[in-house]
Amino acid sequence: MPGRETIKDKKPRKVLLATRNKGKVREIRKLLKGLGVRIQSLHDLPEAPEVVEDGSSFGENALKKARFYAALSRMLTISDDSGVEVEALKGQPGVYSARYAGEGSSDRENNQKLLKEMEGIPSPRRGAWFRCTIAIVSPEGKEVVAERFV
């Protein structure tokens, strides 16, 4: 139809994925392929500082990162925070999942600490889930937050 724009007519919109995790960038690029967006990451902004994830929830951390990088880059920004929560440990390690065994700890070290803390807890009480929260923030300050448990 004359005068009507389609997504194919538009220049791809840049979207910033607020991560330096190359695997995550690959996954998101694959998921959003064909949608008219060009995914960039913090690798494209090498001078961008790290954001301290000091929130008390995954949502607070994801929003903090998305807000910061959206303001810095002036791009629509997607950020996430995620981790494992164990029922018998009252939701721990939660937001501390990546550093459960201390700052800079490996996945293996975090898992070893988690297993040690669960010693003596019977199998039926070892229920756990993975929680992921994604925040999307526009340069104008519009925000969307979504959360999923698996």
Q: What is 68-98 written as a DSSP string? A: HHHHHH-SEEEEEEEEEEEGGGTTEEGGGGG
Q: Of 44, 54, 81, 107, which residue is the catalytic one?
A: 81
Q: Of 44, 52, 55, give the one whose Cα is nearest residue 20.
A: 44
- What CA–CA distance (Å, rounded) separates 139 from 77? 8
Has 9 been annotated as catalytic?
Answer: no
Active site residues: 81
